[in-house]
Amino acid sequence: MERRLAAILAADVAGYSTLMERDEAGTFDRIKAIRKDLFEPGIAKRHGRIFKLMGDGMLAEFSSAVDAVECAVSLQRALDERNSTVLEGERIQVRMGINLGEVIIDGEDCYGDGVNISARLQELADAGGICASGKIVREVERTLSFTFEPMGDQQVKNIAEPVSAYRVLRDGIDPERRRQSGSLALPKKPSVAVLPFTNMGGDAEQEYFADGLVEDLITGLSKIPSLFVIARNSSFAYKGKALDVRQIARELGVRYVVEGSVRRAANRLRITGELIEGKDATNVWADKFEGSAEDIFDLQDRFTESIVGALEPTLRRAEIERARRKRPDSLDAYDLYLRALPHSYANTPADTDEALRLLTHALSLDPNFAPAHGNAAWGYEQRFLRGGFHPEDRAAALRHANIALTLGADDPQPLSMGAFVHSTITQDFERAINALDKALKLNENSALAHGFSSMVHMFSENYDRACDHAHKALRLSPFDPMNYHPYLTLAWVHLFTDRFEEAVHYSNLAIQVNPGFSILHATLVVSYARLDRIEAAQAAAARLLEVSPGWTVSEFARMKAIRPQLMDGMASALRKAGLPE
């Protein structure tokens, strides 16, 4: 008998008996259709073969562990999409287990512990989930960007030795689903999330000030290489929500949470804060800092240094020094910049106009304030690409981008903004990548830099690095309103490599983050059209025209960051869906 090493995927239908009891014929037909429409072609596409079918499940063999894991994730995503159009009581959810081991080949069948362990891992998986062995994870973790959450050593039926098991987390789960499905794995570094501070001043107009203080604190902590810091936009997803600290720590995948308050009265400022261990909500550190409003940066530095000292006592003062941001010369300019930020993040045409108004005022007071130039560059870039390709917007975007790259050479934010604007407007990808690499050397925790890096590497068709940066951005800031950038990267990478089901999946996730951005809807149309799912493509096209009534294929095709041959293919698919020329 032949023996060989193989990756075995085991799958069964969760709640099969209940489904059959409720509707035997209907359940049988739905399972049969899923097998024919999704599983058989999906497994063949990843170079696998089904070697055993059961009433509620199947076993498949792959020569590659990477193919097995990618296939499992792809099938679960396709099943999620299919279930989204089915009544809840009729949905089919599948549990999957994957193992790498030696198997015995007997004709078309496979036997041995390699197969048996896969079946036992499948029993450990959640409905709609995937459980992989330690052997699989060690084989694929450097190649694939999925998160593997340890489940510990598991004693399973008819296997003498405990089996190391991992839950495969499919990146891109929205906040509500993550809250229902559990926690993210903890990074190896000390990890922290800084939550929005409470404004104790009683003046709602000062809310932006408390938010800006927290943003600067997050920036300072993020620049310290020995820490893993959740990005601002994911922390701010909890603003105004009364949730338990332990729950927040689980959802964000961090060991520590910082909470605090700000009171600003006349020219006096008081900051209070505490560092909390997320597992059991114990207080690690607490302190308060008082001074005049003119001393805000000194107060922030003292606050940041105290938190770092509590997290990592061995950190040297030099790391704190490297974390300091270049200060604006005018506090009034800084104030206007803080007021502009929420409008920049909102990213609607009206908000972009308001952000640019505030940023222009800030720069009139402090022409050398690099972060304001970075945000202004991005604002004008958005106007140019989404507002009719007017030459004056292009010129303004490049002017501010160049200033941001020069004045902000020691700050990841203006470097990232300036680099991205050059990639989309001038297609100088080499310059953009160099600036983004510099930004990540300054702050490897910058979700913004990783997100923009994913886009620029995708434009330059370095797809592996693009996906690496996209997944890193999503892990650093899972609830970020800017996450449509890494999701769009993943959608286009899969689209351009003929993996259209995954392109549909990531397009939908991008739209969930920013439903008003026409490019995301256009990408979904193309993905459906390339699958020859014309009705779905036409429905997505109708939604695109609702979002952007004057949208045309020819206007979309004016984007220069995508290679002409790839853009021609996208334009053809858009026409296939009936969109106007």
Percent of the residues in the chain that have a pLDDT greater than 70, as a whole number: 90
What was the pLDDT predicted at 541?
93
Same domain, 334 and 373: yes
Report which DSSP code applies to 456: H
CA–CA gap between residue 51 and residue 112 (Å, rounded): 14
Question: DSSP states of 280-340 as a string?
Answer: TTEEEEEEEEEEEGGGHHHHHHHHHHHHHHHH-TT--HHHHHHHPPPPPS-HHHHHHHHHH
Give the H or E element holding residue 458: helix 447-459
Please check whether residues 480 and 579 belong to one and the same domain.
yes
Based on the domain organization, do 407 and 555 belong to the same domain?
Answer: no
What pLDDT band is residue 140 in, cutting at 50, 70 and 90?
confident
Prediction pTM value: 0.58
CATH of the domain at 217: 3.40.50.10610
Q: Going by C-beta distance under 8 Å and a sequence separation of 6 or more, which residues neighbour residue 490?
A: 172, 454, 467, 470, 502, 506
What pLDDT was estimated at residue 205? Answer: 65
Q: Which domain holds residue 414?
A: 330-443
Q: Does residue 381 sit within a domain?
A: yes
Q: What is the mean pLDDT of residues 561-572?
A: 91
> Could you tell me which of 85, 97, 174, 106 has the C-alpha nearest to residue 136?
97
Query: Does residue 270 sit in the same domain as residue 298?
Result: yes
Pairing state of beta strands 163-169 and 130-133?
Answer: antiparallel
Banded model confidence at residue 228, pLDDT cuts 50, 70, 90: confident
> What is residue 144's three-state secondary structure?
coil
What is the C-alpha separation between 216 and 337, in angstroms, rounded?
Answer: 12
Q: Which of 273, 268, 223 lies closest to 442 in space, CA to CA?
A: 223
CA gap 12, 20 in Å, rounded = 14
Quick one: 241 and 390 in the same domain?
no
Is there a single domain that holds both residue 345 and residue 308? Answer: no
HEC assignment per residue over 249-297 = HHHHCCCEEEEEEEEEECCEEEEEEEEEECCCCEEEEEEEEEEEHHHHH
For residues 5-27, average pLDDT: 88
Structure tokens at 287: 């302190």
Residue in 335, 341, 428 with CA at minimum distance from that of residue 378: 341
Name, in order, each residue with C-beta under 8 angstroms of 216's C-beta and a sequence gap of 6 or more. Answer: 300, 325
Question: What values do phi and psi take at 353, rounded to 5?
Answer: -60, -45
| Residue 284, pLDDT above cutoff 60 | yes
pLDDT at 407: 94
CA 45 – CA 253 distance, rounded (Å): 34
- pLDDT per residue over 285-316, tens digit each? 788 888 787 777 777 777 776 766 565 543 33
How big, in percent rounded to 5, are the helix, strand and coil portions of the chain? 55, 15, 25
Mean pLDDT of 243-266: 85
**With contact defined as beta carbons under 8 Å apart, do 249 and 255 qualify?**
yes
Statement to judge: residues 473 and 556 lie in one domain: yes
Same domain, yes or no, for 291 and 335?
A: no
> Cα–Cα distance between 389 and 393 in angstroms, integer?
7
Q: How many CB atoms are located within 10 Å of the residue 465 CB?
A: 15
Q: Are residues 376 and 415 in the same domain?
A: yes
Query: What domain count does the chain have?
Result: 4
The stretch 502-520 carries a mean pLDDT of: 88
Please check whether residue 319 is in contact with residue 294, taking contact to mean a CB–CB distance below 8 angstroms.
no
Backbone dihedral angles phi then psi of residue 274, each to the nearest 5 degrees: -145, 145
Domain-ending residue, one of 323, 357, 380: 323
CATH number for the domain spanning 366: value is 1.25.40.10
Do 434 and 416 belong to one domain?
Answer: yes
Does some domain include residue 52? Answer: yes
User: Minimal CA–CA distance to 193: which of 118, 153, 247?
Assistant: 247
- Whether 436 and 295 map to the same domain: the answer is no
Shared domain check, 423 and 379:
yes
**Residue 180, in any domain of the structure:** no
Whether the per-residue pLDDT at 184 is higher than 70: the answer is no
What does the block give as tokens for 290?
């008082």
418 located within any domain = yes
